[in-house]
Amino acid sequence: MIRGLYTAASGMFALERKQEALSDNLANAETPGYKKDDTVLRSFPKLFMQRVQDFNENGAATGGTQIPGMAVPIGELTNGVYAQERIPSFSQGAVVETGNALDVAIDDQSIPFQTVNGRQVKPAAFFAVQLPDGTVGYTRNGKWDLDVNGNVVTTDGYRVLGADHQPITITDSISKEDLYIGADGQIVAYPSDPAKTKTVGQIGIAVAQNPLELRRLGGNAYGSDTPLAFIQDGGGANPGVTLQQGYMEQSNVDASQTMTDMMMTVKGYEANQKVISAYDSSLQLLNSVGKING
């Protein structure tokens, strides 16, 4: 009976973690470039139960011969479930037009699938950003602005890195409305005035061959144990990535589906609560049986 309590409790713990992931997804449904997390629930290894020293059944099973210590199968025992991990989904979010000069969306749907460890994996492209501790992070957040020093920054305050792996800085008091960003990431100032036109930078684009190896750092950014190469690096090639100025990639969270999943998770949690309540009532009744003088 106690084992049933543990099984129900494991289900509650797992569903609680799943609900946390769903809540994070819903909270970031409007965050530019956010990638949702899917929670994987797995069962604990099953136990195969047997009886030993069961001479009578052993004798029946072996034509009357009794073998001391021979095991008699009983069946399998399941030990509940657990939330193994949260796996990000790097599917493309909806791309919407904003008209803002420093809104940039990545289109990486043309990147071919790669075979990684015997399975097909879709690589994903990212903008490279400089994190507060000086390390490099990767994000799909293409909603940018200029800070007081002319640095191109994301809504999280991270500085966007250029193809030279250095932060992109717009000098000479050039406003963001005077910038043109090409499909290859080239940033050109005053594109409509030939006398003043000049290239002021190029956006660095990194491609993760297996994006599932990235780890979420918070603030809509990911980290990698091994720095990702830029497609503009020497010897590199563009695998099929283009940028769209004036567009923004939205979160890939489906708010309505997420709310439905949250309600189903709550129902599952309540079902496990009822199982524990039933066990608790049975244990109270068992505790009262055989008491002397009531």
pLDDT of residue 52: 64
In 3D space, the residue among 162, 104, 175 whose CA is nearest the CA of residue 130 turns out to be 162
pLDDT of residue 293: 57
Residues 6+ apart with CB under 8 A from 142: 32, 33, 103, 104, 105, 106, 127, 247, 248, 249
pLDDT of residue 235: 75
Q: How far apart are CA 104 and CA 184, in angstroms?
A: 12
In 3D space, the residue among 183, 217, 182 whose CA is nearest the CA of residue 197 turns out to be 182
pLDDT of residue 119: 85
pLDDT of residue 285: 81
The C-alpha torsion from 89 through 93 and 130 to 110, rounded to 10°, is: 90
Residues 6+ apart with CB under 8 A from 35: 88, 89, 90, 91, 93, 140, 251, 252
Do strands 124-130 and 205-208 pair parallel, antiparallel, or not at all (unpaired)? Answer: antiparallel
pLDDT of residue 292: 58
What single string gives the DSSP state of each residue in 29-81? TTSTT---EEEEEEEPPPEEEEE-S-HHHHHHHTTT---TT--EEEEEE---E
Q: Are 94 and 181 in contact (CB under 8 A)?
A: no
Residue ranges of the chain with per-residue pLDDT less than 70: 1, 47-72, 77, 290-294
